[in-house]
């Protein structure tokens, strides 16, 4: 009842075509969004589900990277428009799309966690979009969600920095919230992966704390 009233007074429409489908991204527009070919995060060699190849893998980098969408026009438009509307709900819708797109992977003993925001940014926005995505995946996969990381310093916006400055910017940016993560298998959720610097930095910290596996799941990437 309440949902119906909400839909009458505040109809949810697709942010791309304005059709009312009770989803900020309708099925029709979703089908038109460009999809990525999955590849090794390090060397970009094609891989069906984004597994890091055996020549690239080492003790500090992710074991896999999966992101269904290319970070280009359609999805960029949605993210930009999300900032002007009910953005937490937009990320919920996108999270269910991400969950529905997951390929066959044996994830039964994995724990979900998200790239954290700095406290001040979290307060300003009211939610962490990566955590919203992770919660949607948790709902659909029954995998447990846990906050395993915190952000220790306020980092500058990455895209304005050179590669060297980016790495410096993210040095010691994350820490684990538990004393050890021995043997844990982790699905680390990020919203958009561009340079990969923050996911690599967070993975290093998780593995240094004992995590056995870390697979990155993101909505989109321009890699
Ligand atoms: Zn649409
Ligand atoms: Zn590789």
Distance of CA 41 from the midpoint of ligand 1 (Å):
30
Give the pLDDT of residue 158.
62
Q: Which residues are bridge partners to 70 per DSSP?
A: 221
Task: Give me the pLDDT at residue 6, please.
Answer: 59
Span from the CA of 32 to the centroid of ligand 1 (angstroms): 9
| Residues around ligand 1, an ion, CB closer than 5 A | 14, 16-17, 26, 29
Q: Which ligand is nearest to the CA of 77?
A: 1
151 bridge partner residues: 174
| Ligand number, closest to the Cα atom of 21 | 1
> Which ligand is nearest the CA of 50, by number?
2
Q: Considering all CA atoms of the chain, what is the largest pairwise distance in Å, rounded to the nearest integer?
A: 56
Mean pLDDT in consecutive groups of 10 residues from the start of the chain, 223 residues: 63 87 90 95 93 95 96 90 81 95 89 94 90 96 96 72 70 88 97 92 96 97 89
Asked if residues 173 and 93 have their Cβ atoms less than 8 Å apart, the reply is no
pLDDT at 159: 64
Q: What is the pTM of this model?
A: 0.90
Note the CATH number of domain 36-221.
Answer: 3.40.50
* Ligand with an atom nearest the CA of residue 26: 1
Centroid of ligand 2 to alpha carbon of 37 (angstroms): 14
* Residues 126, 121: Cα–Cα separation, whole Å: 8
Other beta carbons within 10 angstroms of residue 196's beta carbon come to: 20
The pLDDT value given to residue 16: 93
CA of 223 to the centre of ligand 1 (A): 25
Q: How far is the CA of 24 from the centre of ligand 1 (A)?
A: 8
- Give me the residue spans of the domains in the chain: 1-32, 36-221
Cβ count near 86 (within 10 Å): 13
Distance between CA 40 and CA 194 in Å, rounded? Answer: 14
Cα–ligand 1 centroid distance for 220 (angstroms): 18
| Ligand 2 geometric centre to CA of 52 (Å) | 5
Residue 214, token pair as written in the block: 């870390």
């Amino acid at each position: 009842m309440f949902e119906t009233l909400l839909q009458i007074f505040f109809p949810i429409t697709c942010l791309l075509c304005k059709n009312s489908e009770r989803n900020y991204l309708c099925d029709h527009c979703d089908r038109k969004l460009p999809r990525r070919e999955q590849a090794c995060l390090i060397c970009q060699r094609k891989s069906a589900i984004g597994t890091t190849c055996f020549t690239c893998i080492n003790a500090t980098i992710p074991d896999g990277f999966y992101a269904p969408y290319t970070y280009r026009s359609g999805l960029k438009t949605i993210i930009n428009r999300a900032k002007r509307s009910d953005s937490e709900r937009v990320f919920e819708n996108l999270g269910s799309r991400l969950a529905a797109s997951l390929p066959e992977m044996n994830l039964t003993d994995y724990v979900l966690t998200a790239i954290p925001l700095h406290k001040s940014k979290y307060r300003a926005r009211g939610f962490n979009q990566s955590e919203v995505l992770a919660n949607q995946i948790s709902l659909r996969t029954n995998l447990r969600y846990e906050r395993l990381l915190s952000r220790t310093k306020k980092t500058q916006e990455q895209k304005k920095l050179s590669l060297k400055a980016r790495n410096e910017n993210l040095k010691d940016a994350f820490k684990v919230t538990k004393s050890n993560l021995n043997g844990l298998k982790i699905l680390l959720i990020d919203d958009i992966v561009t340079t990969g610097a923050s996911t690599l930095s967070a993975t290093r910290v998780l593995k240094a704390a004992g995590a056995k596996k870390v697979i990155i799941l993101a909505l989109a990437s321009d890699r």
